[in-house]
């Protein structure tokens, strides 16, 4: 029997390379963001802005979480992420406080760090148990080339905001560094990024490259793992190269609608879908085949892995 999950703002839980099993909370319409990163897995930013507002109704998000929780479902983390930058939503702190007050789940905020120069954003971000910020540039030019920010968003302001947050935050701060061939992977460039990342005194630094096809208009290749492991020692603490962990719901037990909602926000590798749910890979392929045949899903080869994503209109 298929599990019919009708949620508009929640997705997953999904296997996360950092958080084990993660229930996503999406506070942005597709795709509202402060940046239009060349490596984005969701696609081009359609509304590029620094404007903060209640992009989706907070009360509806909280009601969905309460319904999900009341059904007895479990996760390792409730994670604010999804279709854009979550700190753009003026109610993101209320969501974090509600999860903490009504459940025993840990919370995470996955942010690009672009708005941490605002005191109210730092205040609300501090409600999370774990906060991940991004640092993949070393100066204004590299920032604009990689992240293609909204007008008015400057790299020095982003960096200073992340530093102020570190000084105020008592939880776990993670810094994600995304390395991209031809953009920021040369030795001098990585060393410049490492110097800035080290200044944030993070609890962990995660070194990544593209693991899912970029959907933002550019073909972005993958940095070889051997190079990631070489430069990891340049960071302090030594950078980690995350691997998938956690156990998710089997795609065999999900409705078509639930599968499409999940993959629209979080494209996954076929192998990861099978391994994280304990399902047979061939059975997962058979489950997805009708959606692929109907043109609703696409399976793409990406650096030796078959990735599943939603075909957007």
Helix or strand run (H / E) with residue 293: helix 281-293
Tell me what the mean pLDDT of segment 231-251 comes to.
77
Q: pLDDT value at position 252?
A: 73
- The 10 Å Cβ neighbour count of residue 29 is 13
Q: pLDDT value at position 1?
A: 35
For residue 276, being part of any structural domain is answered with no
Measured between alpha carbons, how far is 275 from 248 in angstroms, rounded to an integer? 9
- Of the candidates 186, 77, 185, the one whose C-alpha atom is nearest the C-alpha of residue 132 is 77
226 is in which domain, residue-wise? 10-266
For residue 249, being part of any structural domain is answered with yes
Tens of pLDDT, residues 84-123: 899 999 999 999 999 999 999 999 999 999 999 999 999 9
For residue 271, being part of any structural domain is answered with no
pTM above 0.85, yes or no: no
Q: CATH number of the domain at 117, please.
A: 3.20.20.70
The lowest-confidence range among 27-41, 126-140, 169-183, 244-258 is 244-258
Tens of pLDDT, residues 265-298: 667 777 766 665 667 778 878 888 888 888 878 7
Measured between alpha carbons, how far is 298 from 300 in angstroms, rounded to an integer? 6
Q: Please state the separation of Cα 180 from the chain's center in Å.
A: 17
Total domain count, the chain: 1
Quick one: tokens of 88? 């753009």
Q: pLDDT value at position 244?
A: 46
* Range among 36-50, 119-133, 235-249 rated most confident: 119-133
Confidence band, pLDDT 50/70/90 cuts, at residue 5: low
Tell me what the mean pLDDT of segment 144-151 comes to.
95
For residue 289, being part of any structural domain is answered with no
Q: pLDDT value at position 17?
A: 73
- The 10 Å Cβ neighbour count of residue 250 is 18
Q: pLDDT value at position 313?
A: 58
For residue 301, being part of any structural domain is answered with no
Q: pLDDT value at position 218?
A: 63
pLDDT of 246 strictly over 70? no
Tens of pLDDT, residues 197-222: 999 999 999 998 876 555 545 677 77
For residue 272, being part of any structural domain is answered with no
Q: pLDDT value at position 4?
A: 47
For residue 255, being part of any structural domain is answered with yes
Confidence band, pLDDT 50/70/90 cuts, at residue 124: very high
DSSP symbols for 231-271: HGGGSSSPPB----BS----GGGB-HHHHHHHHHHS-EEHH
For residue 231, being part of any structural domain is answered with yes
Residue 11 or residue 262, greater confidence? 11
Q: Specify the long-range contacts of residues 140-146, CB closer than 8 Å, at least 24 apart.
A: 142/183, 142/184, 142/189, 145/38, 145/183, 146/37, 146/38, 146/39, 146/178, 146/180, 146/183, 146/184
Q: pLDDT value at position 7?
A: 84
Tens of pLDDT, residues 60-69: 999 999 999 9
Measured between alpha carbons, how far is 179 from 176 in angstroms, rounded to an integer? 10
pLDDT over 90, % of the chain: 56
Q: pLDDT value at position 302?
A: 56
pLDDT of 257 strictly over 80? no
């Amino acid at each position: 029997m298929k599990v019919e999950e009708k949620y508009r703002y929640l997705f997953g839980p999904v296997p996360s390379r950092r958080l084990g099993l993660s229930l996503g909370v999406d506070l942005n319409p597709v795709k509202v963001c402060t940046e239009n990163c060349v490596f984005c897995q969701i696609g081009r930013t359609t509304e590029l802005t620094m404007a903060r507002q209640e992009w989706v109704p907070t009360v509806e998000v909280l009601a969905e979480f309460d319904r999900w929780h009341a059904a007895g479902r479990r996760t390792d983390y409730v994670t604010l992420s999804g279709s854009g930058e979550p700190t753009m939503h003026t109610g993101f702190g209320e969501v974090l406080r509600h999860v903490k007050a009504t459940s025993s789940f840990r919370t995470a905020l996955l942010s690009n760090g672009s708005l941490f120069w605002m005191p109210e954003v730092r205040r609300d971000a501090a409600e999370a148990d774990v906060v991940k910020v991004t640092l993949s540039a070393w100066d204004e030019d590299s920032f604009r080339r990689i992240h293609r920010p909204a007008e008015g968003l400057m790299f020095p302001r982003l960096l200073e905001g992340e530093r102020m947050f570190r000084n105020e935050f008592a939880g776990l701060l993670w810094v994600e560094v995304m390395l991209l061939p031809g953009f920021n992977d040369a030795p001098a460039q990585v060393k410049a990024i490492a110097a800035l990342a080290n200044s944030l005194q993070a609890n962990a630094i995660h070194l990544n490259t593209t693991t899912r096809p970029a959907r933002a208009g550019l073909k972005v290749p993958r940095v070889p793992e051997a190079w990631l492991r070489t430069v990891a020692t340049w960071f302090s603490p030594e950078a980690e190269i995350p691997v998938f962990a956690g156990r998710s719901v089997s795609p065999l037990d999900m409705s078509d609608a639930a599968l499409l909602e999940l993959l629209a926000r979080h494209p996954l590798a076929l192998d990861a879908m099978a391994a994280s749910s304990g399902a047979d890979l061939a059975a997962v392929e058979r489950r997805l085949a009708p959606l692929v045949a109907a043109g609703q899903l696409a399976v793409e080869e990406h650096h030796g892995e078959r990735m599943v994503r939603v075909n957007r209109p």
